């Protein structure tokens, strides 16, 4: 097959990255008729154990369910209402300043990934603990250059190229390897995520632990399961909502957005993350200040129930690749576009990428330009979400209003101005 005449039927396909985007795009390739699909995941830990939350807009869920990438069997929690609170003296919950609709379904990352993984055909090869060091693209196929691989199962033509280095060749390579994508580095050298200047701190708490908070005058569970909480303060906010824990119970998932302490050099200009167990004393002291002094006592106390060693940090980056396809290389998920999580659409975009890619691969025989069309349409969506994330970041973190003077009408107007395109929760999936 030449570069211009890709045949998906029977093709050998590699997916770099084994998270939600990777499993979804592998499923897309299988459904489109690929011969064998191999997934390469650099981590060796159990992805199914990841306990952070994500939310999917009801309208986007309906589209993705129709496309076969989500369904009601996946554990979820129904969310309907977004309540905005500001600190007000010692009032445990603070003062409610606004109530907005929130038509979303919440999921736990690990169980959702596990469901997608289970849907892959048995002949899918999943190779954890394999680092793709480089990718090359040629007329007759693409190659992965793997470090430290001594054996194991896989697909494609294999060739040893030196100690600890192996080359494996494929008809197509899908880059679903996140914002530090090696596939994107090959496809579009020099395209790098840009640091936004602030952080997302993340954690979760088993719902049965919330009774430990014990504020006088409050019931043991003072917020409804369908509520999503926005706790706002100068220079940031926290979002709190319940998610399934994968075992029939619930967890309170929280994401705190605020800038790091002034003068602290975290080396964030180079894309990185701070996984659980790596918080420095200075970072944790800043976290404690925000939870104890800036947020209402109940919501700050809820966050402090997360053990320090389980709190992790995602620096905020954003970018979009100029295209999603080049030669035998395709991009999906965060490898193609990273929008700040304020958009409420990170997982949605990855699953939409997979659904659109499946349709494009099916259409290749009749439309040789189908992959280019996939890249153009998904690239347009990616740019929209990046711009939305930046507007919401300015409103909610970087240039926050005086929340104490805001009421229902003020919050509604400010939100409408920030979400001018109506894309919160994700753009409509084009059929």
Q: How far apart are CA 124 and CA 12, in angstroms?
A: 11
Span 223-239, mean pLDDT? 98
- Banded model confidence at residue 4, pLDDT cuts 50, 70, 90: low
- Of 83-87, 265-269, 421-425, the one with minimum mean pLDDT is 265-269
Query: What distance in Å separates the CA atoms of residue 353 and residue 376, rounded to the nearest whole number?
Result: 12
Whole-number Å distance between alpha carbons of 178 and 183: 10
The DSSP call for residue 168 is E
- Please tell me the distance from the alpha carbon of residue 53 to that of residue 229, in angstroms, as a whole number: 14
> In this prediction, what percent of the chain has a pLDDT beyond 70?
94
Percent helix, strand, coil in the chain (nearest 5)? 30, 30, 40
Q: How far apart are the C-alpha atoms of 304 and 252, rounded to whole Å?
A: 12
Q: Mean pLDDT lowest for which of 198-207, 259-268, 341-350?
A: 259-268
Confidence of residue 421 (pLDDT cuts 50, 70, 90): confident
Q: Are 31 and 9 in contact (CB under 8 A)?
A: no
pLDDT at position 169 over 50 = yes
Position 314 scores a pLDDT of 93
Give the pLDDT confidence score for residue 270 in this predicted structure.
Answer: 84
CA atoms within 13 A of residue 258's CA, in its CB half-sphere? 25
> Rounded distance, CA 405 to CA 48, Å?
44
> What pLDDT digit, counting tens, does each position of 69-120 carry?
999 989 999 999 999 999 999 999 999 999 999 999 999 999 999 999 999 9
Beta-strand pair 227-233/236-244: antiparallel
For residues 127-132, average pLDDT: 94
Mention every residue, 6+ apart, whose C-beta is less than 8 A from residue 1.
7, 11, 140, 141, 171
Lowest-confidence pick of 22-36, 154-168, 403-417: 154-168
Cβ-based burial of 305 (10 A; exposed 0-12, middle 13-18, buried ≥19): middle
The pLDDT assigned to 358 comes to: 97
Q: How does pLDDT run across 183-206, given as a tens digit for each residue?
A: 999 999 988 889 999 999 999 999
Residues 290-305, mean pLDDT to the nearest whole number = 98
Average pLDDT along the chain: 92
Model confidence at 68: pLDDT above 60: yes
Contacts of 67 (CB under 8 A, 6+ apart): 355, 358, 429
Judged against a pLDDT cut of 50, whether residue 335 lies above it is answered with yes
Segment among 4-18, 149-163, 213-227, 282-296 with least mean pLDDT? 149-163
Contact indicator for 209, 220 with CB cutoff of 8 Å: no
pLDDT above 60 for 153:
no
- Give Cα 247 distance to the centre of its chain: 22
User: In sequence order, what are the residues at sequence separation of 6 or more whose Cβ sits closer than 8 angstroms to the Cβ of residue 196?
Assistant: 315, 316, 317, 318, 340, 390, 393
* pLDDT greater at residue 191 or residue 21: 21
Specify the residue for token string 């097959």. Answer: 1
Q: What is the pLDDT of residue 5?
A: 67
């Amino acid at each position: 097959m030449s570069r211009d005449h890709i045949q998906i039927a029977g093709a050998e396909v590699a997916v770099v990255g084994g998270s939600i985007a990777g499993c979804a795009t592998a499923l897309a390739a299988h459904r489109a008729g690929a011969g064998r699909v191999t997934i390469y995941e650099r981590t060796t830990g159990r992805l199914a154990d990841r306990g952070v939350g994500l939310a999917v807009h009801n309208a986007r869920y309906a589209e993705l369910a129709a496309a076969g990438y989500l369904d009601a069997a996946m554990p979820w929690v129904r969310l309907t209402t977004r309540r905005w609170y500001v600190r007000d003296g010692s009032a445990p919950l603070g003062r409610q300043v606004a109530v907005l609709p929130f038509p979303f379904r919440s999921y736990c990352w690990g169980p959702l990934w596990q469901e997608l993984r289970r849907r892959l055909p048995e002949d899918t090869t999943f190779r954890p603990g394999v680092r793709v060091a480089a990718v090359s693209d040629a007329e007759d196929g693409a190659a992965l250059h793997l470090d430290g691989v001594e054996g194991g199962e896989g697909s494609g033509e294999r060739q040893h190229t030196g100690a600890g280095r192996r080359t494996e060749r494929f008809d197509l390579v899908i880059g679903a390897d996140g914002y530090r994508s090696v596939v994107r580095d090959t496809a579009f050298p020099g395209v790098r995520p840009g640091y936004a200047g602030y952080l997302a701190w993340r954690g979760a708490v088993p719902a049965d632990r919330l009774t430990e908070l014990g504020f006088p005058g409050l019931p043991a569970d003072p917020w409804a399961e369908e509520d999503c909480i926005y706790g706002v303060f100068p220079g940031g906010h926290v979002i709190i909502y319940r998610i399934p824990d994968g075992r029939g119970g619930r967890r309170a998932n929280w994401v705190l957005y605020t800038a790091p302490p002034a003068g602290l050099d975290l080396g964030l200009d180079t894309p990185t993350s701070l996984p659980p167990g790596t918080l420095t004393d200075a970072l944790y002291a800043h976290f404690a200040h925000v939870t104890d002094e800036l947020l209402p006592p109940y919501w700050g106390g809820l966050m402090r129930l997360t053990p320090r060693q389980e709190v992790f940090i995602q620096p905020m980056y954003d970018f979009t690749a100029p295209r999603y396809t080049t030669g035998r290389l395709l991009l999906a998920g965060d490898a193609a576009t990273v929008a700040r999580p304020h958009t409420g659409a990170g997982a949605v975009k990855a699953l939409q990428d997979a659904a659109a890619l499946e349709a494009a691969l099916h259409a290749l025989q009749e439309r040789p330009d189908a992959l280019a069309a996939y890249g153009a349409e998904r690239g347009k969506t990616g740019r929209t979400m990046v711009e939305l994330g930046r507007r919401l970041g300015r409103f909610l973190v970087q240039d926050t209003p005086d929340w104490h003077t805001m009421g229902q009408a003020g919050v509604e107007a400010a939100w409408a101005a920030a979400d001018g395109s109506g894309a919160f929760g994700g753009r409509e999936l084009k059929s």
